[in-house]
């Protein structure tokens, strides 16, 4: 069954969407979209270093994305610049560093477009094993971490005062982000990874009454986006990553449409 | 079990000469503070006087840069911070908020929501609550853990006057019923004073301390809040002999339930207080 490249891409994409949904909810709740983007952009530097030191690509991306987030935490503690500016600096400089390094490595041919925007042709059986193995690990750790992470998302001080160690939860969460970025790179590409985290979660908000419900809704929306996007990619010969994101966007827009008598969640205001 | 019984004789929290320094400036310094079981300790002081920093240090959210903080082993803290804002993208009902830091039985949750007077809001999303309702939800969440130490950072902010009296009344009931220690930050002196065992007046350091009556008379307090403070701020000594139930009936101190409070009332605020709260 996995002989067909399209089937492999579909299986891999569904596995990725299932993993990205719950994680993406936290990205939305904690307002970490730009943070996720920065980690994803650093992935290209990871790719370049992986080629240079001849290690596994996913491992290289995971390590560099983790280092980028640790660097950000460190710079935040120094407090010299606002988080916003720091993210801007890290995000684009790691991407530029990666591009420059790749350009220097003339002895290997690198499909840059594939890394930036995803390449369904490149998904191997090994990748599928990594996506499902890694994805199961990520979801398992997230389930274990759920209560402290959610408490810290609502209020760090409550979590700290009541003994849930929010700092540790935050650090492990960043490792999980790095892992998802590493396994998502081939499917949607570096530049679009965060959209696979954020858009399905945003689309699921409307249909969820609990945090857990929203995580499940996000996973389902992600699966729909992957199936629809990859099918469209095959029919119209469009790049796989952008096609998936466009379908996710359509799902999000549909979720905003009000049912005739339904009073949507968009009205519930920002009071707290 | 043995440990907690043995520990209950000593203070829940004991701060000695504690200080916190940030960016080369002492936010607060030289704080001595003790909270025991069944005791209500209230911190007062002007804005930026280090009240929140002091309670955060007491419960271990902030580590002190000088001095010591000793907490009873395995101390269970219930915390209501000064400001909680929940992103509206997070679907969080009051019930789910109650289970935020630990699992909970249905019965305990209902009991705590009942005590906080928001049983009818159990299913509501927290973003739709008014300021007073949200404070009550946070209080219910903190007290349902049955904490040894309840820490409340300006619990009556955004609550109208009648709601404020009701909230303080609730806090006292919690203390009476569970025997926990309560560490409270107040931006005013006059309402909470009557229920407080010790008032500590902060202004970067401990400015004065004592029973409410003593603090009100002390020259440091008068200097900090102005000479007229002692005149204008009356101690709100009052005693409720009945509680208003959500359905409009009245529960008296002996536990019986009556339709009205007419024959029993010490002071009449029944109609006004309830209507205002319902409107808000």
Q: Across the interface, do A210 and B93 touch by the CB < 8 Å criterion?
A: yes
- Name the residue among A159, A161, A272 with its Cβ closest to that of B151: A161
Residues of A in contact with B89 (CB under 8 A): 28-29, 201-202, 205
A78 within some domain: yes
Q: Across the interface, do A205 and B89 touch by the CB < 8 Å criterion?
A: yes
A119 within some domain: yes
pLDDT at residue B226 tops 90: no
Span A45-93, pLDDT tens digits = 999 999 999 998 889 999 999 999 998 888 888 777 888 898 999 999 9
Q: 57-96 in B: which are within 8 Å (CB) of A?
A: 59-61, 77-79, 81, 84-93, 96
A270 within some domain: no
Domains, chain B, in order of start with CATH, read: 2-235 (3.40.50.300), 239-280 (no CATH)
Residues of B in contact with A214 (CB under 8 A): 90-91
A181 within some domain: yes
pLDDT at residue B230 tops 50: no
Task: Give the containing element (helix H, strand E) for A12.
Answer: helix A5-29
Q: Across the interface, do B87 and A147 touch by the CB < 8 Å criterion?
A: no
Residues of B in contact with A147 (CB under 8 A): 100-102
pLDDT at residue B217 tops 90: no
> DSSP of A67-81, one letter per residue?
HHHHHHHHHHHHTSS
The more confident residue out of B275 and B186 is: B186
Residues of B in contact with A269 (CB under 8 A): 88, 127-128
Question: How many domains are there within chain A?
Answer: 1
pLDDT at B272: 38
Query: Mean pLDDT over residues B155-165, rounded?
Result: 75
A196 within some domain: yes
Residue A23 is part of a domain; what is its CATH number? 1.10.3470.10
Residues of B in contact with A146 (CB under 8 A): none
- Name the residue among A158, A201, A268 with its Cβ closest to that of B127: A268
Cβ neighbours of residue A39 closer than 8 Å, sequence gap 6 or more = A65, A68, A69, A174, A177, A178, A181
pLDDT at A264: 45
Residues of B in contact with A169 (CB under 8 A): none
- Name the residue among A157, A210, A272 with its Cβ closest to that of B56: A157
pLDDT at residue A186 tops 90: no
pLDDT at residue B24 tops 50: yes
**How far apart (Å, rounded) are the C-alpha atoms in residues B71 and B111?**
28
A264 within some domain: no
In this structure, the strands spanning B198-202 and B40-44 are parallel
Q: Across the interface, do B89 and A269 touch by the CB < 8 Å criterion?
A: no
Q: Across the interface, do A157 and B125 touch by the CB < 8 Å criterion?
A: no
3-class secondary structure, B205:
coil
3-class secondary structure, B33:
strand
pLDDT at A221: 96
Average pLDDT, chain B: 77
pLDDT at B253: 57
Residues of A in contact with B151 (CB under 8 A): 161
Nearest CA in chain B to A154: B86
- Name the residue among B79, B96, B131 with its Cβ closest to that of A162: B79
> DSSP of B216-242, one letter per residue?
HH-HHHHHHH-TTHHHH--------SE
Q: Across the interface, do A271 and B130 touch by the CB < 8 Å criterion?
A: yes
The pLDDT confidence band at residue B131, using thresholds 50, 70 and 90, is: confident
Tell me, yes or no, if B185 comes closer than 8 A to chain A by beta carbon: no
Q: Across the interface, do A272 and B128 touch by the CB < 8 Å criterion?
A: no
Nearest CA in chain A to B93: A210
pLDDT at B10: 80
In this structure, the strands spanning B181-185 and B149-153 are parallel
3-class secondary structure, B136:
helix
Q: Across the interface, do B91 and A209 touch by the CB < 8 Å criterion?
A: yes
pLDDT at residue B274 tops 70: no
Is A259 buried (19+), middle (13-18) or exposed (0-12) by CB count in 10 A?
exposed
Q: How many percent of chain B have pLDDT more than 90?
A: 26
Q: Across the interface, do B93 and A160 touch by the CB < 8 Å criterion?
A: no
A13 within some domain: yes
3-class secondary structure, B125:
strand
pLDDT at residue B270 tops 50: no
Span A199-248, pLDDT tens digits = 999 999 989 999 999 999 999 999 999 999 999 988 998 888 899 999 99
Cβ neighbours of residue A250 closer than 8 Å, sequence gap 6 or more = none
Q: Across the interface, do B61 and A211 touch by the CB < 8 Å criterion?
A: no
Q: Across the interface, do A154 and B84 touch by the CB < 8 Å criterion?
A: yes
Domain that holds residue A233: 5-257
Query: Mean pLDDT over residues B94-112, rounded?
Result: 91
A250 within some domain: yes
Cβ neighbours of residue B214 closer than 8 Å, sequence gap 6 or more = none
pLDDT at residue B242 tops 60: no
Angle at Cα A50 formed by Cα A70 and Cα A188, nearest 5°? 80
Tell me the nearest-neighbour CA distance from B270 into chain A, angstroms: 28
Q: Across the interface, do B79 and A31 touch by the CB < 8 Å criterion?
A: no
ipTM, 2 dp: 0.81
Q: Could you tell me if residue B45 is left (phi over 0), alpha (psi between -120 and 50 degrees) or otherwise beta? A: left
CA dihedral A99, A103, A108, A110 (to 10 degrees): 40
The residue ranges of DSSP E strands in chain B, in sequence order, are 13-22, 25-35, 40-44, 66-71, 77-80, 149-153, 181-185, 198-202, 206-210, 242-244, 250-252, 257-258
Determine how many CB atoms are found less than 10 A away from the CB of residue A97: 17
Residues of B in contact with A167 (CB under 8 A): none
pLDDT at B254: 61
- Measured in residues, chain A has a length of 272
Tell me, yes or no, if B122 comes closer than 8 A to chain A by beta carbon: no
Angle at Cα A214 formed by Cα A172 and Cα A205, nearest 5°? 120
- Compute CA distances B29 → A104, B33, B67, B96, whole Å: 57, 12, 9, 38
Q: 123-152 in B: which are within 8 Å (CB) of A?
A: 125-131, 134, 145, 151
- Name the residue among A153, A159, A163 with its Cβ closest to that of B90: A153
pLDDT at B193: 57
pLDDT at residue B231 tops 50: no
The pLDDT confidence band at residue B138, using thresholds 50, 70 and 90, is: very high
- Name the residue among B100, B125, B130 with its Cβ closest to that of A154: B100
**How far apart (Å, rounded) are the C-alpha atoms in residues B117 and B278?**
11
Select from B72, B91, B280 the residue whose CB has the most chain A CBs within 10 Å, as the one to mutate to test that interface. B91
Span A2-53, pLDDT tens digits = 678 889 989 999 999 999 999 999 999 999 999 999 999 999 999 999 999 9
Span B56-80, pLDDT tens digits = 999 988 899 999 999 998 899 999 9
Span B255-269, pLDDT tens digits = 666 665 444 433 333
pLDDT at residue B214 tops 50: yes
Minimum mean pLDDT among A268-272, B30-34, B49-53, B246-250: which range?
A268-272
Task: Name the residue among A62, A6, A55, A261 with its Cα closest to residue A177.
Answer: A62
Helical axes A83-104 vs A43-53, angle rounded to 10°? 30
């Amino acid at each position: 069954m996995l002989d067909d490249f399209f089937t492999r891409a579909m299986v891999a994409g569904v596995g990725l969407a299932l993993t990205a949904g719950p994680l993406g909810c936290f990205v939305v709740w904690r307002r970490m979209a730009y943070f996720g983007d920065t980690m994803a952009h650093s992935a290209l530097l990871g790719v370049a270093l992986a080629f240079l030191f001849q290690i596994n690509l996913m491992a290289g991306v995971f390590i560099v994305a983790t280092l980028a987030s640790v660097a950000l935490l460190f710079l935040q503690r120094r407090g010299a610049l606002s988080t916003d500016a720091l993210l801007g600096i890290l995000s684009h400089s790691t991407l530029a560093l990666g591009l420059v390094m790749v350009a220097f490595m003339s002895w290997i041919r690198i499909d840059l477009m594939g890394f930036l925007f995803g390449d369904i042709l490149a998904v191997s059986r090994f990748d599928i094993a990594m996506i499902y193995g890694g994805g199961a690990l990520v979801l398992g750790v997230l389930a274990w971490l759920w209560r402290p992470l959610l408490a810290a998302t609502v209020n760090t001080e409550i979590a700290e005062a009541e003994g849930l160690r929010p700092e540790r939860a935050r650090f492990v969460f960043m490792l999980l982000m790095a892992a998802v970025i590493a396994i998502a790179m081939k499917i949607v590409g570096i530049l679009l990874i965060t959209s696979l985290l954020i858009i399905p979660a945003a689309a699921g908000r409307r249909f969820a009454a609990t945090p857990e419900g929203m995580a499940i809704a996000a996973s389902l929306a992600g699966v729909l986006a992957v199936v629809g996007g990859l099918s469209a990619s095959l029919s119209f010969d469009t790049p796989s990553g952008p096609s998936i994101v466009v379908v996710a966007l359509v799902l999000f827009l549909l979720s905003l449409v009000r049912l005739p008598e339904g009073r949507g969640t968009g009205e519930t205001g920002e009071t707290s | 079990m043995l440990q907690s019984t043995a520990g209950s004789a000593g203070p829940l929290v004991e701060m000695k000469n504690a200080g916190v320094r940030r960016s080369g400036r002492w936010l607060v310094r030289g704080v001595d503070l003790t909270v025991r079981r069944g005791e209500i300790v209230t911190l007062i002081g002007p804005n930026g006087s280090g009240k929140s920093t002091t309670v955060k240090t007491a419960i271990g959210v902030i580590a002190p840069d000088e001095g010591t903080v000793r907490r009873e082993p395995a101390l269970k803290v219930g915390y209501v911070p000064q400001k909680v804002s929940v992103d509206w993208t997070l679907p969080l009902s009051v019930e789910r908020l109650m289970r935020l830091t630990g699992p909970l039985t249905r019965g305990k949750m209902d009991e705590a929501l009942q005590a906080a007077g928001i049983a009818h809001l159990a299913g509501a999303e927290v973003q739709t609550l008014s300021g007073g309702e949200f404070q009550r939800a946070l209080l219910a969440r903190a007290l349902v853990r049955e904490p040894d130490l309840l820490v409340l950072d300006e619990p009556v902010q955004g609550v109208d006057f009648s709601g404020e009296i009701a909230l303080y009344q609730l806090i006292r009931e919690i203390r009476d019923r569970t025997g926990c220690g309560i560490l409270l930050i107040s931006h005013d002196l006059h309402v909470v004073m009557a229920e407080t065992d010790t008032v500590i007046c902060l202004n970067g350091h401990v400015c004065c301390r004592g029973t409410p009556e003593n603090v009100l008379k002390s020259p440091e307090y008068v200097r900090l809040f102005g000479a007229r403070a002692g005149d204008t701020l009356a101690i709100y000594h009052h005693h409720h002999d009945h509680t208003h139930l959500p359905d409009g009936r009245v529960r008296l101190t002996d536990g019986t339930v009556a339709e009205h409070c007419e024959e029993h009332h010490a002071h009449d605020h029944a109609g006004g207080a309830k209507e205002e709260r319902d409107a808000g």
